Amino acid sequence: MLETIWFILWGVLWAVYFMLDGFDLGLGSLMPILAKNDTDRKIIYGSMGPFWDGNEVWLITAGGVTFAAFPTTYAVMFSSLYSALMLILFALIIRAIPFEFREQIDHPGWRKLWDTCFVIGSFLPALLLGVAFANIFRGIPIDANGMYHGSLFTLLNPYGLLGGVFFVLLFFVHGSIWLAIKSEGALHDRAASMAAKLWVALLVVAVVFLVATAFSTKLYNNYMRIPLLFAIPLLAVAALLFTRLFIAKAAFWKAWFASSLTIVAATMFGVVGLYPSLLPSSLNPAYSLTIYNSASCLLTLKIMLGVALVFVPIVIGYQT
């Protein structure tokens, strides 16, 4: 029971991170297209400035839960996906620096340098997080000892890249809507138009991803056993459709919350499909890491659950 509770909490924390930092990553990636001058770029930085570091707390929390509740999975994940995760880490570092350094020297070349770092540091995590999770859904080539049989390029398979594109488009739409909320005039119009155009691409990729998931993964097995669970992907589809409806009505706050629900439901679709696995093995299902063979002892799970019940609501309250 405790293992299942922590599995659900693990999935929810990742979903919340994608929802919150997703608009930062998407907006940062789109800055070269949306911003036509330095004033536009300052507005983009300002729109996410008070939030981005608080949003990343959820990434630390999700990683911390993996370490505390499922230490074996944490160890194997960080060895198997080491290259991808280190690229994500370095990208997040170079994304953070421009918020502080960009305005330290009043020179176009200096600002362009940090703007470039900002774009790269936003796009790479969006892409690689999608690649990583798609590969987890598909299965990682790990053996009975948790040894990874592959390389970074093993992760760049068609389904993994499709997952990366899916994440990128989710975050692009999410970020465009956020900028439409936080800006006025021509920049607002470009952001709103971009959100509407990218939504079409997102819809197409989402359909392809759902179909590819049926052929490349075993995520649908849990849904076939318990048809009621299909409410989760149906919720993701409904939220995606409502996102476009609210964009068309220029109700951008409603569109952002609908987009947030799309991201959360899409993430939980994958998490629920994985259960009880955390890292399925593509070499042999018997080698997979599950919530049972990789969890901490029951005492640790009990103590950590008490900590989580106290501090997670505090973090949510602070974020709100």
Tokens 């809507």 belong to: 177
pLDDT of residue 189: 96
Q: CA 60, 63, 64 angle in degrees (round to 5)?
A: 80
pLDDT of residue 313: 87
pLDDT tens-digit map of 250-260:
999 999 999 99
Q: Is the pLDDT of residue 152 over 90?
A: no
pLDDT tens-digit map of 54-107:
888 888 888 888 888 899 999 988 888 888 889 999 999 999 999 889 988 989
Q: Is the pLDDT of residue 225 over 90?
A: yes
pLDDT tens-digit map of 120-150:
999 999 999 999 999 999 999 999 888 888 8
**Measured distance between the N- and C-terminal CA atoms of the chain, rounded to whole angstroms:** 30
pLDDT of residue 215: 94
pLDDT tens-digit map of 166-179:
999 999 999 999 99
Q: Is the pLDDT of residue 51 over 90?
A: no
Report the distance separating Cα 134 and Cα 45, nearest Å: 30
What DSSP string describes the chain?
A: -HHHHHHHHHHHHHHHHHHHHHHHHHHHHHHHHH--SHHHHHHHHHHHTTTHHHHHHHHHHHHHHHHHH-HHHHHHHHHHTHHHHHHHHHHHHHHHHHHHHTTTS--HHHHHHHHHHHHHHHHHHHHHHHHHHHHHHH-B-B-TT--B---HHHH-SHHHHHHHHHHHHHHHHHHHHHHHHH--HHHHHHHHHHHHHHHHHHHHHHHHHHHHHHHH-STHHHHHHSGGGGHHHHHHHHHHHHHHHHHHTT-HHHHHHHHHHHHHHHHHHHHHHHTTEEE-BSS-GGG-EETTTSPPPHHHHHHHHHHHHHHHHHHHHHH-
Report the distance separating Cα 174 and Cα 167, nearest Å: 10
Dihedral pair phi/psi, residue 104, rounded to 5°? -70, -30
Q: Is the pLDDT of residue 27 over 90?
A: yes
Q: Is the pLDDT of residue 223 over 90?
A: yes
pLDDT of residue 150: 83
Domain map of the chain by residue range?
Answer: 2-319
pLDDT of residue 183: 95
Structure tokens at 289: 């890491």
pLDDT of residue 167: 97
Report the distance separating Cα 133 and Cα 163, nearest Å: 7
What mean pLDDT is predicted for residues 183-190? 96
Closest CA to 248 of 177, 171, 152, 163: 177
Minimum mean pLDDT range among 77-81, 111-115, 200-204, 289-293: 77-81
For the chain, the farthest-separated pair of C-alpha atoms sits apart, in whole angstroms, at: 61
Q: What distance lies between CA 283 and its chain's CA centroid? A: 26
Structure tokens at 305: 């659950």
Mean pLDDT, the chain, integer: 92
